Amino acid sequence: MLSAVELLATCVVALCLALAFIPMRRHLIRRGGGAFDCAVRFAPIPTLGDASGWSFAVGRYRDLTVELYRVFSYSPRPRTSLARRGFDVVGRRETVGEETRTLLPGWTVLECSANGEPVELAMSPESLMAFLTWVEAAPPGWNISRVS
């Protein structure tokens, strides 16, 4: 039987391993390249300036999708994927109200539609430029513009 000290030591080691897994997972997601930090929230979108619903994520570009992995998760799979087809950027805005304290400084919010469902993405100016380029760079034959 484990003594109290051994049990406590086991719990501390398990906690340290669990906490170390999150940055290690983030590194593994970003390792393949084409990754960026962002925040995402899905429908129902709260009123303007309300900070509820935002989840920090790591986005990873694929040919026809962007995979969004939640930062504070142990899952090896993305929370969701946004397909290029059916994805529209409706508008962009600066953070307002409580969002300025929730999101990182300088981030811009993209108001989007993914297959008719509202989605908001927040990201840095550098990530924003790359993301908009990815959205606009449709594969040959699509011949559509999806950025307002």
Where is pLDDT greater, at 75 or 7?
Answer: 7
Q: What average pLDDT does this structure show over 43-64?
A: 84
Q: pLDDT tens digits for 71-121?
A: 877 676 788 899 888 889 999 999 998 999 999 999 999 999 998 899 999
Q: Which domains does the chain have, with CATH numbers?
A: 4-136 (2.30.29.30)
Place of tokens 């429908």: 43
> Binning pLDDT at 50, 70 and 90, where does residue 142 land?
low
pLDDT of 30 strictly over 70: no
Band (pLDDT 50/70/90 cuts) for residue 143 is: low
116: left (phi over 0), alpha (psi -120 to 50) or beta: left
Position 148 pLDDT exceeds 60: no
Instruction: Report which of 93, 83, 75 is spatially closest to residue 117, judged by C-alpha positions.
Output: 83
C-beta separation of 120 from 41 below 8 A: yes
pLDDT at 84: 87
Q: What percent of the chain has pLDDT over 90?
A: 31
Q: Which residues contact 135 (CB under 8 A, 6 or more apart)?
A: 84, 87, 89, 146, 147
- Residue 16 CA to chain centroid, in angstroms? 25
